[in-house]
Amino acid sequence: MHSFGYRANALLTFSLTILALMCAMASVSDNLNSQSPTATVQVLNVNRFQKKSNGDDEVGITLDISADLQSLFTWNTKQVFVFLAAEYSTPKNSLNQVSLWDGIIPAKEDAKFSIKTKNKYRFIDQGSNLRGRDFNLSLHWHVMPKTGKMFADKLVLSGYRLPESYR
Amino acid sequence: MGWIGEQIDSVKSMQFRQLFTQAISLGMIVTSALIIWKGLMCITGSESPVVVVLSGSMEPGFKRGDILFLHMSKEPIRAGEIVVFNVDGREIPIVHRVIKVHEREDTGEVDVLTKGDNNFGDDRLLYAQGQMWLQRHHIMGRAVGFLPYVGWVTIIMTEQPLIKYVLIGALGLLVITSKE
């Protein structure tokens, strides 16, 4: 009853249980955090707007993205993955979401940022439906914890419109 | 030397009924583990409710050796979700983030493009020959939670099968020779 084997086994089980409990509590504590992120996005310029050889429209744009995501960070946050997606609908597709830019915020200090950037990923439609198209730009964030449940949300900014003709 | 002698004596002194009981309790342990696994599959609606991260393509968010909890619901696939998918012809599932979604107005089906956070380009290189998009049936689940480091046990056992056999052999020996 008091052999090394029994003691080691009891110690291991107990420590694993405590560890699992701590991970669960850390994850639950994330729910107590109230979040108030803000963001603005400006389309500085439409650099390129053409129909490719296979018939799909492609847009190249320069964006000015400013955001303050500091309120999303808790002690259990490892990083926040943030990306900006253009969302629009066409006659063929009820919903299109195209990620234009993404970034990783490793710490709270870096969560308040303002950058000017060209779109990192190609903005290509399935078809030729982008001329004069209204679209929303939504800033999505994905909070990845040190342990436990991940959660994601977004901020939708509307009122953007692509030019009527190619350039 | 004396310890080995004791073990051999204990094996010889066992009666058939005792051995049988030990074998049945071992079977019960294995079966209950299987029941828990299948139960998890039903609850999460996913073929594999827990996966181990094998590559560094999602760093620094997910490192090699982390485990991910998956859940599959009828909700439509949206950009930003971290999904686990199988490519035809590859047996190992891939865990990456959705960066593009095109959902058909008429059928409701989706074309999805994924990319690992730490990769430079999107996943078209990983898809099957000529495949440009993933469809819903390729996707096994969404990652909803994760635990760091726990998956190293599985990685070590897969990549060094010797350790797996040694562990199982030792466990079997322990069960047979225990006095309770």
Contact B80 A150 (CB under 8 A): no
The yes-or-no answer on residue B123 being catalytic is yes
Over chain A (167 residues), the average pLDDT of each successive run of 10 is 76 88 85 84 88 89 90 88 91 89 89 90 87 89 86 88 86
Residue B180, pLDDT above cutoff 80: no
- DSSP β-bridge partners for residue A149: B145
| pLDDT attached to residue A64 | 92
End-to-end CA distance of chain B: 24
- Cβ-based contacts of A89 with chain B (< 8 Å): 105
* Nearest-angstrom CA–CA distance, B156 and B165: 12
Interface test with B, best of A93, A123, A133 (most B CBs within 10 A): A93
* Nearest-angstrom CA–CA distance, B15 and B130: 64
Which of B26 and A73 is assigned the larger pLDDT? Answer: A73
Nearby residues of B95 by Cβ (< 8 Å), 6 or more positions away: B51, B53, B58, B62, B68, B82, B83, B84, B143
Mean pLDDT of chain B: 81
- The DSSP letter of residue B79 is T
ipTM of the complex: 0.82
Pairing state between β B82-85 and A151-161: unpaired
Residue B179, pLDDT above cutoff 80: no
Q: What is the share, in percent, of chain B residues with pLDDT greater than 90? A: 6
pTM score of the predicted model? 0.78
Q: How confident is the model at residue B157 (pLDDT cuts 50, 70, 90)?
A: confident
| pLDDT attached to residue B109 | 87
Assign B144 to helix, strand or coil: strand
Computed on alpha carbons and rounded to an integer, the radius of gyration of chain A in Å comes to 23
pLDDT, tens digit, 9 for 90 and up, residues A63-95 = 999 999 888 888 888 889 999 999 998 888 888
Residue B82, pLDDT above cutoff 70: yes
The residue count of chain A comes to 167
Element (H, E) at B32: helix B16-44
Cis status, amide bond into B60, omega within 30 of 0: yes
End-to-end CA distance of chain A: 83
Interface test with B, best of A28, A89, A95 (most B CBs within 10 A): A95
| pLDDT attached to residue A116 | 92
Computed on alpha carbons and rounded to an integer, the radius of gyration of chain B in Å comes to 23
| pLDDT attached to residue B10 | 66
Contact B100 A144 (CB under 8 A): no
- Using left for φ > 0, alpha for ψ between -120 and 50, and beta otherwise, residue A159 falls in left
| pLDDT attached to residue B1 | 65
The yes-or-no answer on residue B48 being catalytic is no
Nearest to A126 among B61, B78, B102 (CB): B102
φ, ψ of residue A113 to 5 degrees: the values are -145, 165
Pairing state between β A77-88 and A93-105: antiparallel
A33-161: which CATH topology?
Immunoglobulin-like (2.60.40)
Q: What angle do CA A25, B46, B141 make, to 5 degrees?
A: 75
Residue B177, pLDDT above cutoff 70: no
